[in-house]
Amino acid sequence: MSRPRDSGAWFRQPVVWLGAAIFSASIAGCLVMVVLAERHADTAVEVESGSVMKVPLGRTAATNERQ
């Protein structure tokens, strides 16, 4: 006698395999980004003025007086 196939088993559901594939791809992508970040060091931005992109690097005298 043969047993009937259990069509409700978790490993027979395509959504489970799709979810596992997406999860595995996202973990692999994170690992690739970590490796790339290690290989390409972030260089310091040279600043000639007292601001970067119009944002001051420190507090100004007017800001200190209000507090």
Pairwise CA distance, residues 19 & 6, whole Å: 21
Say if residue 63's pLDDT is above 60: no
Q: Name the residue type at position 2.
A: S
* Mean pLDDT of the chain, nearest integer: 83
51 is a domain residue? no
For residue 18, what are the domain limits? 12-41
Higher per-residue confidence, 34 vs 52: 34
Number of domains in the chain: 1
**pLDDT for residue 9:** 84
The 10s digit of each residue's pLDDT in 23-41 is: 999 999 999 999 999 998 8
Q: What angle do CA 25, 21, 4 make, to 5 degrees?
A: 170
Q: Please indicate, yes or no, if residue 32 is contained in any of the structural domains.
A: yes
Domain annotation covers residue 22: yes
Q: What distance in Å separates the CA atoms of residue 65 and residue 21, rounded to the nearest whole number? A: 58
User: Is 56 domain-assigned?
Assistant: no
60 Rama sector, left if φ>0, alpha if ψ -120 to 50, beta otherwise:
beta
Given this model, what pLDDT does residue 31 score?
Answer: 98
